[in-house]
Amino acid sequence: MRRQLFALTFVALPLAAALSATFDDNAQPPRAAGSAGIEIDALDRKIDPCTDFYQFACGGWIARHPVPADKRSYGRFAELQDRNFAVLRRILEAPGGEGDRKKAADFYAACMDEPAIEAAGLTPIASDLATIDEILNPDDLPVLVAHLHAYGVPALFRFAAQTDLDDATSAIASVDQDGIGLPDRDDYVKTDARSVELRVKYVAVIQKMFALAGEPPERAAADANAVLSIETALAEAMADRVTRRDPVSRQHHMTINELQALSPSFNWRKYAIASDAPPLPTINVAVPAYIRALNRLIAVNTMGDLQAYLRWHVLHEAADLLPKAFADAEFDFFSRTLAGQQQPPPRWRRCVTDTDARMGEALGQAFVEETFSPKAKADTLEMVQGIKNAMRQEIDAAPWMSGETKKAAMVKLAAVVDRIGYPDEWRDYSTLRVTRDEALGNRERALLFNHTRMLAKIGQPVDRGEWNMTPPTVNAYYSPDRNNINFPAGILQPPFYRSGRDAAVNYGAAGAVIGHELTHGFDDQGRKYDGQGNLRDWWTPADAKAYEARASCVADQYSGYTVDADTHVNGRLTLGENTADNGGLRLALLAYLAGPGARNQSKVDGFTPEQRVFLGWAQVWCESARPEAERLKAATNPHASNKYRVNGPVSNMPEFARAFSCKANTPMVRANACRVW
């Protein structure tokens, strides 16, 4: 998951859900017949599972679920997120809330008040735009950029708190690359026809937004081209996504004097003071080359061009809560052009999404009470322990690891902390001001609230109890700097988990998600952290070399896959997730066979237990997706296309070939199978 299992873009998720539905052990959503929990109607029995297991498991579901007009893609994650957000909508619209829950309801109500948003026009950002126009020289930039960062505008760079990876018990400041509007730095540097056309359309939407904000046509056109020029210079200096996957490449501790020497055109002390940051004895500068390029950019660009760049990012970040003309222009490029989405989601869905993103823990308790039973938590913990036991056996049996490295791996595994459902302590929003008549003002104050919380962490002990996802989120993650695995209540619902369902399907779905996150601790990135979260090499040179050879096999395998006919999956960008998919599914199968599967080997719905584990995994990935969305995912997302998240792992597993009696020359049986874990 960011280490994330599914790169969840909230605004792209589907929005059609029964508003009265609740989903606990006593009230589950309907499913097709089949006592195993396998969705029989999802199958495509015309396909041999040994030829294309994804199509066999999901073909029927895909045929019945074309991508709706207001979606980029639609799959089982989105289907569940719909149901979760329907619960949140009911909570937010129910009368009589109090405290933080009432605050969240007011946040939502203000977002829903479209007439008030239209009437306000540009007033909510007028002072920011005026301040940008008033700056006279680069000496004014640090204070202005600090202000914009506090309100969520990612101008020029990112300043944040991060775990000190040399001492994972404490937090330090971090400066990192940021500040471009297109999805990826490669969008600015590639010269193919599609990329050139994309940049032309990007300039057009910037120009349109400037014109809507009152700029004359000639100035709007010139300013839009200035924005592209500045962002191109930033992008050319950025480390690419594959390079950034190596955490060592992002570790460059400096003093503020050293940072200032790296970029003398920008006054970093003035920025730190304006940010209200604590003392900064150490700063991690993730990409020094980027900061040097930022220095050159500030030195050579006119203030007029820099002002245009800053105005664009203020408009871009606020567009969805500005009058409809701005929101429509933003949607037309960033959703329709980039991802093929034909219509915006319904207003309520956008507002639930924003409320969850900004005040998710204010709703968390109510959501958990409705959707997540103690039985679900107990079952999940039982699966976690079984999967950890399977991982111990995998490490112990690995023929390519020395005893020394195995011992260190066991120490790390024993230190993994399991977090299920929701935080032990809920966030307090009592200092956040929310009103029912200021949609953008509420968001900005919520961003400032969270920004202030984040900066206050600098120089303090790391809070290992904090969650990075809200309880309703359909996702999970592993945190390498804290060595914990995290499963929000939102994902522990059907089709991932159902109380009383055949254990084989629960292990194939939820269990493989658990195994996926656990494997992240030992993927090509996670293996570089020790059990306390420090960036430390605990591998012998020979074992590290053997690991890299196995990982390269996985990278090469996935680089051979394509989407939309000619766009290749980036096997290096997706290596961590692919390693986790392969390892997680194998661990889930082993844990099932050592646990519930040892007591029950009967067929259900015509499928053996092993077959049901594999089908449980495959059917959580059923998805229909637009070609534009698949291309965008291949370029920017560390996860492979859902088809290959199913077919890739099973084609590496002799257990799958045995379960479905696949012959050696069939597509789901790789001649040179890859295996890390």
Residues 247 and 128 grouped into a single domain: yes
Q: Let me know if residue 440 belongs to a domain.
A: no
Q: What is the pTM of this model?
A: 0.93
Residues 162 and 37 in one domain: no
- Identify each DSSP E strand in 523-607 by its residue range: 562-563, 567-568
In this predicted structure, what is the pLDDT of residue 36?
Answer: 60
Give yes or no for residue 325 having a pLDDT over 80.
Answer: yes
- Domain-embedded: residue 136: yes
Say whether both 565 and 676 belong to one domain: yes
| Contacts for 274 with CB less than 8 Å, ≥ 6 apart | 142, 143, 146, 147
Contact 532, 483 (CB under 8 A): yes
Q: Which residues pair with 174 in a beta bridge?
A: 160, 284
The per-residue pLDDT for range 326-339, each reduced to its tens digit, is 999 999 999 999 99
**Which pLDDT belongs to residue 415?**
98
Q: Flag whether 229 is in a domain.
A: yes
Q: What is the pLDDT of residue 6?
A: 30
Question: Residue 251 belongs to a domain with what CATH number?
Answer: 1.10.1380.10
Task: Give me the pLDDT at residue 4, please.
Answer: 33
Note the pLDDT of residue 27: 33
State how beta strands 73-75 and 623-625 pair. Answer: antiparallel
Going 623 to 626 to 630 to 636, the CA torsion angle's sign is negative
User: Angle of helix 141-150 relative to helix 439-455, nearest 10 degrees?
Assistant: 110
**What pLDDT was estimated at residue 577?**
98
Q: Does 557 fall in a domain?
A: yes
Same domain, 127 and 58: no
The whole-number pLDDT of residue 19 equals 25
Q: How many domains does the chain have?
A: 2
Q: List the beta bridge partners of residue 121.
A: none
- Confidence at 72, pLDDT banded by 50, 70, 90: very high
DSSP tag of 139: G
Query: Do 602 and 510 share a domain, yes or no?
Result: yes
Has residue 431 been placed in a domain? no
Confidence of residue 33 (pLDDT cuts 50, 70, 90): very low
- Average of pLDDT values for 65-74? 97
Question: Do 472 and 604 belong together in one domain?
Answer: yes
Instruction: Give the Cβ contact number of residue 587 at 10 Å.
Output: 28
Q: What is the pLDDT of residue 18?
A: 27
Residue 667 lies in a domain: yes
The whole-number pLDDT of residue 97 equals 84
Last residue of a domain, one of 282, 299, 321: 321
Look at strands 417-421 and 484-488 and give their pairing: parallel
- The range of the structural domain enclosing residue 584 comes to 27-64+373-423+467-677
Q: Using an 8 Å Cβ cutoff, are 62 and 610 in contact?
A: no
Alpha-carbon gap, residue 355 to 432, rounded angstroms: 13
CA atoms within 13 Å, Cβ hemisphere of 208: 17
Contact between 583 and 652 (Cβ < 8 Å): no
Give dist(CA 63, CA 42) in Å, integer.
9
Q: Which of 637, 85, 571, 644 lies closest to 338 in space, CA to CA? A: 637
Looking at the structure, tell me whether residues 315 and 238 fall in a common domain: yes
Segment 255-260 shows an average pLDDT of 97
Tokens 């820099």 locate to 306
Would 182 be classed as within a structural domain?
A: yes
Catalytically annotated residues: 517, 581
Across 652-662, average pLDDT: 98
How would you list the strands of the sheet with 477-479, edge to edge? 417-421, 484-488, 477-479
Spatial neighbors of 563 by CB under 8 A, at least 6 apart, are: 569, 627, 630, 631, 633, 634, 641
Of the three residues 280, 301, 321, the one that is the final residue of a domain is 321
The 10 Å Cβ neighbour count of residue 64 is 11
One domain, residues 403 and 297: no
Beta strands in 243-339 (DSSP E): 253-254, 283-285
506-533 pLDDT, tens digit per residue, is 999 999 999 999 999 999 999 999 999 9
**What share of the chain has pLDDT > 90, as a percent?**
93
Contact of 472 with 364, CB cutoff 8 Å: yes
In this structure, what CATH number is given to the domain that contains residue 42?
Answer: 3.40.390.10
Would you say residue 7 has pLDDT above 70?
no
Check whether residue 258 and residue 391 sit in a common domain. no
Do you know the residue count of the chain? 677
Question: Does some domain include residue 108?
Answer: no
Q: What's the whole-number mean pLDDT along residues 308-318?
A: 98
At residue 261, the pLDDT reads 97
